[in-house]
A = this chain, B = another copy of it.
């Protein structure tokens, strides 16, 4: 049976192969001559395996699948089923009830050792047969058929395709599995199994006889590396909270009496099976599977172990060899003295923001927010408390956030609020956990204290406005009464004003009305007398982005008068708006009738453009 086609990074799709695939091919070649070990013979069906089969598969948590060799060869999963069934038992029963039936201590004994606790009869761990049979006994389902179906479905979620039993191997297992039946009765004797042990042992034989490929195992391993979400299909195979438990027993007990050395040399939770598979997991990074049926005396695949060792060494995969996360979550930090919103400010406002803008501190975060990464942000904020009044946290680039990160955010909000300082979030909607956490914790003060803006720009403008209200009270003008107060008429004499005023025509727009439409021919220059307007463009992504917001006293639509090009963006009334409008022809004619006025107008235009250019240059420098 061929697995369905999936997203796959193999040669032939591009001009050249991936270095990752090259590397796996090289490893495959290097270890192909290694033909020590024996194919398992304790079940007749297993002995039929071709001892030369050999494949390697590496799957990342971002869903790239690299596979070489006989990676689509079907074989039975055998003991590698144990962690997955244990995970399902945890989901079905919860952690405590499972721990009462199966321990989590390594034994240092071989895979088929019985290893029951002398007092309670509890198997030492779920990776030995006794513990695996006890785990199978914990799978929910009214009938044996239901239980098997649930196991198959779960394994299918891990593998990203429908899986089925290899009936020959199952028959062979069942025929020869007397030792496991003995274990079953021993577990029944201690009440670890609370009903007839025979159907449970059969279910165990069945779970071991599920047919998989090396590719399947790689994806299954990557699903464990990805907190239970299959990175190829994006489907959840096991609840994230149980993944650490499954990996813990793999880490301490997964490689039988080889577990300590395995953790020491390879440093990844792993599981092997007698059919020749080995699966290893580097949490957060990747899953690995190797398939080669020749086994060593421990019952582990000879090539499997060697290839895992080589991978771990070459690729630095040891779970305890991780670089510091310090300095990794703040993508950009700046104050409103360094960068401001796209609200165009009057010179006085700009001056005030330049002077007092450090009261607004902005942190754009990135990556995964957890205690270890968040601590640094919290420290910056607490250490700088006497230097700011507003803290703005942009979550746009955050990939994940856990509850301990939520708790730190909540505590920050409360502490700052008690000191009369405001916390503001941008792009919080993509992290619903944060909203839920804040809602529960802040209770009645939620609406007031959990300030959330759609994007950084709007959040920054809100902070600026708050700041300007305290530092420049009354300076944010609502309307301009006299033409001489328009910035473009700066330094105009009374006589010059009296020339331009008759050329202005009053136009009014309602809130939400489009004043200028992208693509339209340009026919006028607008002086904003009352209200606000925003320049917006529609991005390729479909999102409307604000380029600038103008307020009373400013002019807009002026560039089209110089380059005679159609309008390049939409301009929309944010409020009810009054404008004084100068027609293109009047603007042109000024050059002939009153060249001095036109020169002054153009000089003011240059000054305006140049100050915008300086602002954007300053804005961009915070990213570098």
Distance between Cα atoms of A263 and B375 in the complex (Å): 24
Partner of A322, one of B125, B284, B318: B284
Q: In the assembled complex, which residues on chain B have CB atoms less than 8 Å from the CB atom of A300?
A: none
User: With A244-B267, A616-B613, A619-B620 known to touch, is A60 a contact of B375 (CB < 8 Å)?
Assistant: yes
Among candidates B251, B606, B610, residue contacting A320 with C-beta atoms closer than 8 Å: B251
Contacts A64-B379, A106-B106, A613-B612 given; does A264 touch B245 at CB 8 Å: yes
| Cα(A316)–Cα(B407), bound, Å | 12
| B285 and A264 form a contact (CB under 8 A) | no
On chain B, the residues within 8 Å of A260 by CB distance are 103-106, 125, 248-249, 252-253
From known contacts A267-B244, A321-B283, infer whether A261 and B105 are also in contact, taking CB-CB under 8 Å.
yes
Is the pair A602, B595 in contact by a Cβ cutoff of 8 Å? no
A344 interface residue per 8 A CB criterion? no
Give CA–CA (A527, B620) in the complex, Å: 27
Contact of A316 among B251, B327, B404, B602 (CB under 8 A): B404
**Complex Cα spacing A383 to B7, Å:** 12
> A119 CB to closest chain B CB, in angstroms?
14
Q: Tell me the smallest distance from the CB of A496 to a CB of chain B, in Å.
A: 14
A435 CB within 8 Å of chain B: no
A411 at interface by CB-CB < 8 Å: yes
Whether A283 contacts B371 by the Cβ 8 Å rule is no
Q: Please state if B379 and A18 are interface contacts (CB–CB under 8 Å).
A: yes
Q: How far is the CA of A373 from the CA of B328 in the complex (A)?
A: 13
Closest approach, in angstroms, between the C-beta of A534 and any C-beta of chain B?
Answer: 15
Stretch at the interface among A202-210, A212-220, A362-370: A362-370
Contact A316 B375 (CB under 8 A): no
Determine the distance from Cα of A22 to Cα of B375 in the docked complex, in whole angstroms. 13
Assess whether A325 is interfacial by the CB under 8 Å rule. Answer: yes
Bound form: Cα–Cα A325–B64 in Å = 13
Q: B residues within 8 A CB of A315?
A: 370-371, 404
- CB-based contact A596/B595 at 8 Å: yes
Whether A14 is near chain B, meaning CB under 8 Å from some CB there, is: yes
Knowing A248-B264, A323-B400, the reply to whether A282 touches B372 (Cβ < 8 A) is yes
Q: Would you call B415 and A16 a contact (CB within 8 A)?
A: yes
In the assembled complex, the CB of A57 is this many whole angstroms from the nearest CB of chain B, namely 14
A149 is an interface residue with CB less than 8 A from chain B:
no
Q: Are B18 and A385 in contact (CB under 8 A)?
A: no
B-chain residues with CB within 8 Å of residue A282 when the two chains form the complex:
372
Instruction: Give the residue name and chain of the B residue nearest to A609 (CB).
Output: B609
Say if the beta carbon of A547 comes within 8 Å of chain B: yes
User: Which chain B positions have C-beta within 8 A of A605?
Assistant: 602, 606
A466 within 8 A of B: no
Residue numbers in B under 8 Å from A285 (CB-CB):
324-325, 370-373
Please state if B326 and A60 are interface contacts (CB–CB under 8 Å).
yes
A501 CB–B CB distance under 8 Å: no
Bound Cα distance A371, B283 (Å): 13
Whole-angstrom distance between the Cβ of A472 and the nearest chain B Cβ: 23
Residues of B within 8 A of A247 (CB): 320
Interface residues of A in 233-262 (CB under 8 A from B): 240, 243-245, 247-249, 251-253, 257, 259-261
A367 B328 Cβ-Cβ under 8 A: yes
Q: Which B residues are CB-close (under 8 A) to A108?
A: 105-108
Bound-state CA distance A385–B18 (Å) is 11
Measured CA separation A16–B317 after assembly (Å): 41
Quick one: closest B residue to A19, CB to CB?
B411
The answer to whether B386 and A14 touch across the interface, beta carbons within 8 angstroms, is yes
A371 touches B252 (CB 8 A): no
* A499 in contact (CB, < 8 A): no
Cα A623 to Cα B251 in complex, Å, equals: 41
Residue A349 lies at the interface, judged by CB distance under 8 Å to chain B: no
- A125 to B245 CA separation, bound complex (whole angstroms): 24
Ordered by A's residue number, 13 sampled pairs between the chains whose C-beta atoms are within 8 Å are A14-B385, A63-B326, A104-B263, A105-B259, A105-B260, A105-B261, A106-B259, A125-B260, A227-B323, A283-B319, A286-B375, A316-B404, A559-B610
Sorted nearest first, the 3 A-B pairs with minimum C-beta distance are: A285-B372, A62-B326, A595-B595
Where the two chains meet, the residues of A that have a C-beta atom closer than 8 Å to any C-beta of B are 9, 13-20, 22-23, 60-64, 103-108, 125, 225-227, 231, 240, 243-245, 247-249, 251-253, 257, 259-261, 263-264, 267, 269, 282-286, 314-328, 331-332, 366-368, 370-373, 375-376, 378-379, 382-383, 385-386, 399-400, 402-404, 407-408, 411-412, 415, 418-419, 456, 547, 559, 562-563, 591, 595-596, 598-599, 602-603, 605-607, 609-610, 612-613, 616-617, 619-620, 623-624
Given contacts A252-B252, A253-B260, A284-B372, 17 further A-B contacts (CB under 8 A): A15-B386, A16-B385, A16-B418, A60-B375, A105-B260, A227-B321, A244-B320, A248-B267, A285-B324, A324-B368, A328-B366, A332-B623, A367-B367, A559-B610, A595-B599, A616-B617, A620-B623
